[in-house]
Amino acid sequence: MIKRLLPWILKGGISVGLIAWVLSKVDLPSAWAQAKGMDLGMVLLAVVLMQLQIALGAVRWGLVLRALEAVFRWSSTFAVYYIGVFFSIVLPGAVGGDAVRMWFSRRAGLSLATAVNSVALERAMTVFALVLLVCLTQPILMARVPDLPGVWVFPMLLAICVIGILVLASMDKLPQSLRRWKLARGLVQLAGDTRKLFFHPAWSLGTLVVALVGHVNLSLAVYVLALGLGLDVHVLDTLVLVPPVILVMTLPISIAGWGVRETAMVTAFGFVGVADHSAIVLSIIFGIVTMVTALPGGLVFMLAGGKKMEEEELAEEKAAGDQPHGVHTPPSPLP
Flag whether 29 is in a domain: no
The predicted structure's pLDDT at residue 94: 44
Q: What is the mean pLDDT of residues 82-97?
A: 77
In a domain, 263, yes or no: yes
| Out of 114-118, 125-129, 211-215, 270-274, least confident range | 270-274
The predicted structure's pLDDT at residue 326: 39
User: Within a domain: residue 23?
Assistant: no
pLDDT of residue 90: 72
**Domain assignment present for 181:** yes
Return the percentage of the chain with pLDDT > 70, whole number. 87
Q: Which amino acid is at 330?
A: P
Closest CA to 20 of 280, 318, 283, 259: 259
11 within domain boundaries: no
* Side-chain-facing half-sphere of 160: CA atoms under 13 Å: 8
Give buried/exposed letters for 233-263 (b at 16+ CB in 10 A, else e): beebbbbbbbbbbbbbbeeeebbbbbbbbbb
Q: Is residue 27 part of a domain?
A: no
- Per the structure, the count of domains in the chain is 1
Q: Which residue has the higher pLDDT, 56 or 256?
A: 56
* pLDDT of the residue at 311: 58
User: Strand, helix or coil at 152?
Assistant: coil
Domain that holds residue 242: 45-317
Q: What is the DSSP string of 220-278?
A: HHHHHHHHHTT----HHHHHHHHHHHHHHHTSSSSSTTTTHHHHHHHHHHHTTT--HHH
Tell me the pLDDT band of 334, cut-offs 50, 70 and 90: very low
Q: Could you tell me if residue 128 is inside a domain? A: yes
Residue 52 has pLDDT above 90, yes or no: yes
Mean pLDDT computed over every residue of the chain = 85
Gyration radius (Cα) of the chain, Å = 21
- Measuring CA to CA, which residue among 120, 243, 126 is closest to residue 191? 120
Number of H helices, E strands in the chain: 14, 0
pLDDT higher than 70, residue 190 = yes
Mean pLDDT value across residues 247-262: 85
Residue 249 to residue 243: CA distance in whole angstroms: 10
Q: Which amino acid, one-letter code, is at 322? A: D
d(CA 105, CA 87): 15
SS3 assignment, position 90: coil
Give residue 4's pLDDT. Answer: 65
Domain presence at residue 24: no
